[in-house]
Amino acid sequence: MLEIKCPYCGKRSQNEFSYGGDAAVKRPELGKEVSDKEWDNFVYLRKNPRGNHREFWHHVAGCRQWFKVLRDTSTHEIFKTARLDEEL
């Protein structure tokens, strides 16, 4: 069982959260011409690292806030969580 520290509510069980994927992926800028390659990078291609991974989680059965988590994908250890407007 993962214990995830929501930056707003504190430590809660994994049951209250849902996963939102890689937080390092950046959406192409709005109002700019975007090439197929850039869309491909954003929508499909992932680094998929073994080790430290910055990712989004959603406290869906709690405060319903999105936030960022730094987690090790090989051990599931969670090092740090942060609000979206904070550095991780």
Partner 1 sequence: MQKYSIFSLIKNAFSNHKNWEVAWKDPEPKKQYDVVIIGGGGHGLATAYYLAKEHKITNVAILEKGWIGGGNVGRNTTILRSNYMWDANGLFYEYGMKLWENLSQELNYNVMYSPRGIINLAHSDAQLNTYSRRGNSMRLNGIDAVMLGRDELKKMIPFADFSSSSRFPIFGGLMQPRGGTARHDAVAWGYARQADSLGVDIIQHCEVTGFEVQNGKLTGVQTSRGDIKTKKVGLCVAGSTSLLAEKLNMNLPIESHVLQACVSEPVKPFLDHVVTFGAGHFYCSQSDKGEMVMGGDLDGYNSYAQRGNLPTIQHVLSEGVAMFPNLSRLKMLRTWGGIMDMSMDGSPIIDKTHIEGVYLNCGWCYGGFKATPVSGWTFAHTIAQDRVHELNSKFRLNRFSTGHLIDEKGVGTKTWIG
Which spans of this chain sit near partner 1 (rule: CB under 8 A)? Answer: 1-2, 13-15, 18-22, 36-37, 39-41, 43-50, 53, 55, 71, 73-76
Is 71 within 8 Å of 79 (Cβ atoms)? yes
Kindly state the smallest distance separating residue 49's Cβ from partner 1, in Å: 8
- The sheet with strand 52-58 has its strands ordered as 18-22, 52-58, 66-72, 78-83
The two structure tokens encoding residue 47: 């680094």
11 or 46: CB nearest partner 1: 46
7 or 20: CB nearest partner 1: 20
How many angstroms from the chain centroid is the CA of residue 49? 13
27 or 46: CB nearest partner 1: 46
